[in-house]
Structure 1
Amino acid sequence: MKLLVCILDDFYKDQVEKELREKGYRMTELASSGGFLRRGSTTFLFGANEDDLPTLRDSLKEACLNVEKTKQRKDKKTHRYTSFLIQSGDLSHLLTNR
């Protein structure tokens, strides 16, 4: 099991959430702020099996492209989202009681 952390521009948030839920992906959505992608970001956490990661990444990209087909961006940003993959074994220290 892997954890995919995806920091997404808010411009894409609603459509990405809708399309990925329709495809059966479960996610946790966190409102995020700060300077990572400048402003207006949402962080999605996805739990996925190794075999499902290519399909999940393709689905993220496809959802963003669908938004761009229907909505015109005023500013031309180069990043739709940034994602980080974390091995579930790396999280075991967070799950222990202290």
Structure 2
Amino acid sequence: MKLIFSIVHDDDSYTVIEELNNSGYYVTKLCSTGSFLRTGNTTLLIGINDEELEPVLEIIKANSKRRTQYVQTTTHGALPGIFATVGTEVSVGGSTIFVINVEKMEKF
């Protein structure tokens, strides 16, 4: 048995969950916040049998896309007390996945 923790961008969470459900997998959704941009993420908990690992990972990978986003950052200017605001392009989205071995799982 495996427990998958998959952290996906909020924009991708609905599609990932829908595709997992359509393929017969149960998902528990937890709302979470990323520390880098402080934007919404969704953490998915998925309990599966060992042989289901690769199909589940493929579903997550196919439905969680990386994208670029512009964020405003403030930098120090050449003179004291002078600041400049610049746009910086960062990569967001995709998924971060942790797979843990589970000794036992029960549903009541």
After TM superposition, the score normalised by the length of structure 1 is 0.72
* Structure richer in helix, relative to its length: 1
Please report how far the alpha carbon of residue 49 of structure 1 lies from its aligned counterpart in structure 2 after TM superposition.
1.0
Residues 1:40 and 2:57 are matched in the alignment: no
- Alpha-carbon RMSD: 2.5
Please report how far the alpha carbon of residue 28 of structure 1 lies from its aligned counterpart in structure 2 after TM superposition.
0.4
| Cα pair distance change 1:29/1:37, threshold 3 Å | farther
| Cα pair distance change 1:9/1:39, threshold 3 Å | same
* Structure richer in strand, relative to its length: 2
Q: Which has the higher contact order (CA 8 A, sep 6+)?
A: 1
3-state SS of paired residue (1:85): strand
Instruction: Spell out structure 1 runs of 4+ moving beyond 3 A.
Output: none
Report the counterpart of residue 96 of structure 1 in structure 2.
none
Consecutive unaligned residues of structure 1, counting only runs of 5 or more, are: 92-98
CA distance in 1, matches of 2:36, 2:95: 11
CA distance in 1, matches of 2:92, 2:33: 19
Q: How many residues align?
A: 85
Residues 1:86 and 2:104 are matched in the alignment: no
Whichever residue aligns with residue 59 of structure 2, its letter is S
- 1:11-90, aligned counterparts within 5 Å? 11-35=11-35, 38-64=38-64, 75=69, 77=91, 79-89=93-103
Over alpha carbons, which structure has the higher Rg? 2
After TM superposition, the score normalised by the length of structure 2 is 0.66
CA distance in 2, matches of 1:45, 1:37: 23
Identity of aligned residues (%): 35
